[in-house]
Amino acid sequence: MAKASGPANTELVVITGLSGSGKGTVLKALEDLGYYSVDNLPLDLIPKFAELAKNAPSIRRAALVVDIREGAALERFPALFKRIRREVPVRLIFLEADESSLIRRFSETRRPHPLGTGQSVTASIRRERDRLAPIRALADPVIDTTKFNVHELRETIHRTFGEKQGSPEILVQVTSFGYRHGVPADSDLVFDVRFLPNPNYVPAFKHLSGKHPSVARYIRSFPQTVEFIQRISDLLIYLLPHYIAEGKSYLTISFGCTGGHHRSVLIAAEIRKRLAAAGFRAKETHRDVKKN
Protein backbone atom coordinates (compact mmCIF):
# COMPACT_ATOMS: atom_id res chain seq x y z
CA MET A 1 0.00 0.00 0.00
CA ALA A 2 1.38 3.38 -0.95
CA LYS A 3 2.05 5.81 1.83
CA ALA A 4 -0.25 8.77 2.12
CA SER A 5 1.65 11.84 1.17
CA GLY A 6 1.70 14.73 3.62
CA PRO A 7 0.45 18.25 2.95
CA ALA A 8 2.21 20.08 0.17
CA ASN A 9 3.56 22.70 2.54
CA THR A 10 5.16 20.24 4.96
CA GLU A 11 8.32 21.90 6.23
CA LEU A 12 11.34 20.76 8.23
CA VAL A 13 13.55 23.24 10.05
CA VAL A 14 16.97 22.16 11.32
CA ILE A 15 18.48 24.38 14.02
CA THR A 16 22.19 24.33 14.62
CA GLY A 17 25.01 26.64 15.65
CA LEU A 18 27.32 27.53 18.49
CA SER A 19 26.65 26.46 22.05
CA GLY A 20 25.15 29.36 23.97
CA SER A 21 23.84 31.10 20.86
CA GLY A 22 20.15 30.47 21.61
CA LYS A 23 19.25 27.19 19.88
CA GLY A 24 16.94 26.18 22.72
CA THR A 25 15.15 29.52 22.56
CA VAL A 26 14.62 29.15 18.81
CA LEU A 27 13.34 25.58 19.19
CA LYS A 28 10.86 26.69 21.86
CA ALA A 29 9.72 29.61 19.71
CA LEU A 30 9.04 27.25 16.79
CA GLU A 31 7.22 24.87 19.11
CA ASP A 32 5.00 27.78 20.14
CA LEU A 33 4.21 28.29 16.45
CA GLY A 34 3.02 24.71 16.12
CA TYR A 35 6.19 22.97 14.97
CA TYR A 36 6.66 19.38 16.14
CA SER A 37 9.99 19.85 17.93
CA VAL A 38 12.82 17.49 18.89
CA ASP A 39 16.06 18.44 20.63
CA ASN A 40 19.34 16.58 20.07
CA LEU A 41 18.01 13.92 17.73
CA PRO A 42 20.74 11.37 16.89
CA LEU A 43 22.14 12.04 13.45
CA ASP A 44 21.25 8.61 12.04
CA LEU A 45 17.57 9.15 12.93
CA ILE A 46 17.25 12.44 11.05
CA PRO A 47 16.36 10.84 7.66
CA LYS A 48 13.62 8.81 9.35
CA PHE A 49 12.36 11.93 11.13
CA ALA A 50 12.33 13.82 7.83
CA GLU A 51 10.33 11.02 6.20
CA LEU A 52 7.87 11.13 9.09
CA ALA A 53 7.51 14.89 8.76
CA LYS A 54 6.87 14.50 5.05
CA ASN A 55 4.32 11.67 5.19
CA ALA A 56 2.48 11.96 8.52
CA PRO A 57 -0.77 13.90 8.00
CA SER A 58 -0.67 15.06 11.62
CA ILE A 59 2.72 16.75 11.24
CA ARG A 60 2.63 19.78 8.96
CA ARG A 61 5.78 21.46 10.29
CA ALA A 62 8.67 20.04 12.28
CA ALA A 63 11.89 21.33 13.83
CA LEU A 64 14.94 19.67 15.33
CA VAL A 65 18.27 20.66 16.83
CA VAL A 66 21.61 19.25 15.67
CA ASP A 67 24.76 20.49 17.34
CA ILE A 68 28.21 19.72 18.68
CA ARG A 69 26.79 17.13 21.10
CA GLU A 70 26.76 14.73 18.12
CA GLY A 71 30.51 14.42 18.47
CA ALA A 72 32.53 13.02 15.57
CA ALA A 73 29.33 11.97 13.76
CA LEU A 74 28.62 15.65 13.06
CA GLU A 75 31.14 15.53 10.21
CA ARG A 76 28.59 13.49 8.26
CA PHE A 77 25.84 16.09 8.61
CA PRO A 78 26.56 18.22 5.49
CA ALA A 79 26.22 15.22 3.15
CA LEU A 80 23.17 13.98 5.04
CA PHE A 81 21.53 17.41 4.89
CA LYS A 82 22.07 17.69 1.13
CA ARG A 83 20.43 14.30 0.69
CA ILE A 84 17.43 15.21 2.83
CA ARG A 85 17.05 18.53 1.01
CA ARG A 86 16.32 16.61 -2.20
CA GLU A 87 13.44 14.79 -0.53
CA VAL A 88 11.84 17.28 1.87
CA PRO A 89 11.43 21.08 1.98
CA VAL A 90 14.00 21.91 4.66
CA ARG A 91 15.61 25.05 6.07
CA LEU A 92 18.85 25.14 8.04
CA ILE A 93 19.15 27.88 10.67
CA PHE A 94 22.63 28.56 12.01
CA LEU A 95 22.92 30.58 15.24
CA GLU A 96 26.10 32.30 16.33
CA ALA A 97 27.30 35.14 18.56
CA ASP A 98 30.56 36.93 19.16
CA GLU A 99 33.11 35.36 21.47
CA SER A 100 32.72 37.77 24.39
CA SER A 101 28.93 37.31 24.44
CA LEU A 102 29.24 33.52 24.46
CA ILE A 103 31.79 33.62 27.28
CA ARG A 104 29.50 35.89 29.29
CA ARG A 105 26.51 33.59 28.75
CA PHE A 106 28.44 30.53 29.93
CA SER A 107 29.61 32.52 32.96
CA GLU A 108 26.07 33.62 33.80
CA THR A 109 24.55 30.14 33.49
CA ARG A 110 27.59 28.40 35.05
CA ARG A 111 27.15 25.56 32.59
CA PRO A 112 30.20 23.82 31.11
CA HIS A 113 30.82 23.93 27.40
CA PRO A 114 29.68 20.71 25.66
CA LEU A 115 33.24 20.08 24.49
CA GLY A 116 34.21 19.53 28.12
CA THR A 117 36.21 21.18 30.89
CA GLY A 118 39.63 20.05 29.74
CA GLN A 119 40.23 23.44 28.12
CA SER A 120 39.06 27.00 28.63
CA VAL A 121 35.63 28.12 27.46
CA THR A 122 37.35 30.43 24.98
CA ALA A 123 39.31 27.57 23.45
CA SER A 124 36.18 25.41 23.31
CA ILE A 125 34.22 28.14 21.53
CA ARG A 126 36.96 28.57 18.92
CA ARG A 127 37.26 24.84 18.37
CA GLU A 128 33.49 24.49 18.03
CA ARG A 129 33.33 27.38 15.55
CA ASP A 130 35.95 25.67 13.38
CA ARG A 131 34.17 22.32 13.48
CA LEU A 132 30.81 23.87 12.55
CA ALA A 133 32.15 25.97 9.65
CA PRO A 134 31.14 23.44 6.92
CA ILE A 135 27.59 23.37 8.31
CA ARG A 136 27.40 27.15 8.58
CA ALA A 137 28.21 27.37 4.87
CA LEU A 138 24.97 25.50 4.08
CA ALA A 139 22.70 27.57 6.34
CA ASP A 140 20.03 30.07 5.37
CA PRO A 141 19.55 32.09 7.46
CA VAL A 142 22.61 32.66 9.64
CA ILE A 143 21.46 34.60 12.71
CA ASP A 144 23.93 36.45 14.93
CA THR A 145 22.30 36.61 18.38
CA THR A 146 24.97 38.83 19.96
CA LYS A 147 22.63 41.81 20.22
CA PHE A 148 19.43 39.89 20.95
CA ASN A 149 18.04 39.18 24.36
CA VAL A 150 15.82 36.11 24.74
CA HIS A 151 12.61 38.03 24.05
CA GLU A 152 13.98 39.72 20.93
CA LEU A 153 15.23 36.40 19.55
CA ARG A 154 11.85 34.78 20.12
CA GLU A 155 10.12 37.72 18.45
CA THR A 156 12.45 37.48 15.46
CA ILE A 157 11.63 33.78 15.00
CA HIS A 158 7.90 34.42 15.40
CA ARG A 159 8.04 37.13 12.76
CA THR A 160 10.11 34.98 10.39
CA PHE A 161 8.23 31.69 10.70
CA GLY A 162 4.76 32.75 11.87
CA GLU A 163 1.67 32.00 9.81
CA LYS A 164 1.05 35.67 9.09
CA GLN A 165 4.42 36.83 7.97
CA GLY A 166 4.46 40.56 7.38
CA SER A 167 7.20 42.63 5.87
CA PRO A 168 10.71 41.67 6.97
CA GLU A 169 11.85 43.57 10.04
CA ILE A 170 15.11 44.84 11.41
CA LEU A 171 16.15 45.61 14.98
CA VAL A 172 18.01 48.91 15.15
CA GLN A 173 20.33 49.57 18.10
CA VAL A 174 21.13 53.28 18.45
CA THR A 175 24.16 53.83 20.69
CA SER A 176 25.96 56.88 22.06
CA PHE A 177 29.64 56.72 22.97
CA GLY A 178 32.70 58.85 23.74
CA TYR A 179 35.66 58.79 21.38
CA ARG A 180 38.05 58.96 24.34
CA HIS A 181 36.77 55.49 25.30
CA GLY A 182 37.00 54.06 21.77
CA VAL A 183 34.50 53.37 19.00
CA PRO A 184 32.09 50.47 19.79
CA ALA A 185 33.43 47.40 18.03
CA ASP A 186 29.98 46.21 16.93
CA SER A 187 29.06 49.44 15.13
CA ASP A 188 27.67 49.12 11.61
CA LEU A 189 27.36 52.87 11.05
CA VAL A 190 29.29 55.55 12.98
CA PHE A 191 28.54 59.28 13.04
CA ASP A 192 30.84 61.86 14.66
CA VAL A 193 28.87 64.66 16.37
CA ARG A 194 31.87 66.50 17.80
CA PHE A 195 31.19 69.33 15.32
CA LEU A 196 28.30 70.45 17.57
CA PRO A 197 28.98 73.00 20.37
CA ASN A 198 30.08 71.17 23.51
CA PRO A 199 27.90 71.61 26.63
CA ASN A 200 30.83 70.37 28.71
CA TYR A 201 32.24 73.91 28.62
CA VAL A 202 29.09 75.32 30.23
CA PRO A 203 29.67 74.94 34.01
CA ALA A 204 25.99 74.30 34.77
CA PHE A 205 25.89 71.41 32.27
CA LYS A 206 29.26 69.77 32.95
CA HIS A 207 27.94 67.08 35.31
CA LEU A 208 24.61 66.53 33.54
CA SER A 209 23.87 64.30 30.56
CA GLY A 210 22.31 64.96 27.20
CA LYS A 211 19.03 63.61 28.55
CA HIS A 212 18.66 66.51 31.00
CA PRO A 213 16.05 68.96 29.62
CA SER A 214 18.35 71.97 30.00
CA VAL A 215 21.25 70.28 28.23
CA ALA A 216 18.97 68.93 25.50
CA ARG A 217 17.47 72.39 24.98
CA TYR A 218 20.96 73.91 24.71
CA ILE A 219 22.14 71.38 22.09
CA ARG A 220 18.92 71.75 20.07
CA SER A 221 19.25 75.55 20.08
CA PHE A 222 21.88 75.40 17.33
CA PRO A 223 20.59 75.21 13.74
CA GLN A 224 23.24 72.65 12.78
CA THR A 225 21.81 70.27 15.40
CA VAL A 226 18.31 70.52 13.98
CA GLU A 227 19.54 70.07 10.42
CA PHE A 228 21.81 67.14 11.33
CA ILE A 229 19.00 65.26 13.07
CA GLN A 230 16.71 65.79 10.09
CA ARG A 231 19.28 64.81 7.47
CA ILE A 232 20.49 61.70 9.33
CA SER A 233 16.92 60.59 10.05
CA ASP A 234 16.02 60.91 6.38
CA LEU A 235 19.17 59.01 5.38
CA LEU A 236 18.51 56.13 7.78
CA ILE A 237 14.82 55.87 6.90
CA TYR A 238 15.95 55.58 3.27
CA LEU A 239 18.70 53.03 4.03
CA LEU A 240 16.93 50.64 6.39
CA PRO A 241 14.56 49.07 3.81
CA HIS A 242 17.60 48.33 1.64
CA TYR A 243 19.38 46.64 4.58
CA ILE A 244 16.21 44.60 5.15
CA ALA A 245 16.10 43.61 1.49
CA GLU A 246 19.67 42.32 1.84
CA GLY A 247 18.59 40.11 4.74
CA LYS A 248 20.08 42.10 7.62
CA SER A 249 18.14 41.48 10.82
CA TYR A 250 19.83 44.05 13.06
CA LEU A 251 21.86 47.22 12.67
CA THR A 252 23.92 49.14 15.22
CA ILE A 253 24.17 52.89 14.63
CA SER A 254 26.66 54.71 16.86
CA PHE A 255 26.90 58.44 17.55
CA GLY A 256 30.10 59.68 19.18
CA CYS A 257 31.18 62.85 20.91
CA THR A 258 34.25 63.49 23.06
CA GLY A 259 33.18 61.93 26.36
CA GLY A 260 29.85 60.30 25.50
CA HIS A 261 27.90 62.40 28.03
CA HIS A 262 26.10 65.19 26.18
CA ARG A 263 25.91 65.59 22.40
CA SER A 264 25.96 61.94 21.40
CA VAL A 265 23.38 61.08 24.06
CA LEU A 266 20.91 63.69 22.84
CA ILE A 267 21.43 62.79 19.17
CA ALA A 268 21.05 59.04 19.77
CA ALA A 269 17.84 59.58 21.71
CA GLU A 270 16.39 61.84 19.01
CA ILE A 271 17.31 59.49 16.17
CA ARG A 272 15.82 56.52 18.02
CA LYS A 273 12.53 58.41 18.44
CA ARG A 274 12.38 59.28 14.76
CA LEU A 275 13.12 55.72 13.64
CA ALA A 276 10.43 54.40 15.97
CA ALA A 277 7.97 56.96 14.65
CA ALA A 278 8.78 55.74 11.13
CA GLY A 279 7.75 52.21 12.14
CA PHE A 280 11.13 50.58 12.81
CA ARG A 281 11.98 48.55 15.90
CA ALA A 282 14.58 50.73 17.56
CA LYS A 283 16.14 50.82 21.00
CA GLU A 284 18.86 53.02 22.48
CA THR A 285 21.84 52.53 24.76
CA HIS A 286 24.34 55.04 26.13
CA ARG A 287 27.62 53.22 26.63
CA ASP A 288 29.72 55.91 28.27
CA VAL A 289 27.21 58.24 29.89
CA LYS A 290 28.18 57.17 33.42
CA LYS A 291 31.92 57.18 32.89
CA ASN A 292 34.10 59.96 34.26
The domain that contains 125 carries what CATH number? Answer: 3.40.50.300
In 3-state terms, what secondary structure has residue 173? Answer: strand
Question: Which of residues 161, 187, 212 is at a domain's end?
Answer: 161
Residues 64 and 110 in one domain: yes
Residues 256 and 114 in one domain: no
Question: Which of residues 135, 161, 187 is at a domain's end?
Answer: 161
User: Is residue 4 domain-resident?
Assistant: no
Cα 150 to chain centroid, rounded: 10
Confidence of residue 281 (pLDDT cuts 50, 70, 90): confident
- pLDDT > 70 fraction of the chain, expressed in percent and rounded: 94
Its sign, for the CA torsion 176, 178, 183, 185, is: negative
Q: What does the pLDDT average to over 202-217?
A: 95
Residues 146 and 184 in one domain: no
- Between 42 and 52, name the one with better pLDDT: 42
pLDDT of residue 154: 87
Let me know if 47 is exposed, middle or buried by CB neighbors in 10 A (0-12, 13-18, 19+). middle
User: Is residue 292 domain-resident?
Assistant: no
Task: Note whether 250 and 189 are within 8 A (CB).
Answer: no
Tell whether the model's pLDDT for residue 81 goes beyond 90.
yes
User: Is residue 3 domain-resident?
Assistant: no
Q: Please tell me the total count of domains within the chain.
A: 2
Residues 146 and 179 in one domain: no
Question: Which of residues 136, 161, 186 is at a domain's end?
Answer: 161
Residues 77 and 186 in one domain: no
The domain of 156 spans 11-161
The Cα–Cα gap between 202 and 112 comes to 52
Residues 156 and 236 in one domain: no
User: Is residue 147 domain-resident?
Assistant: yes
The Cα–Cα gap between 67 and 132 comes to 8
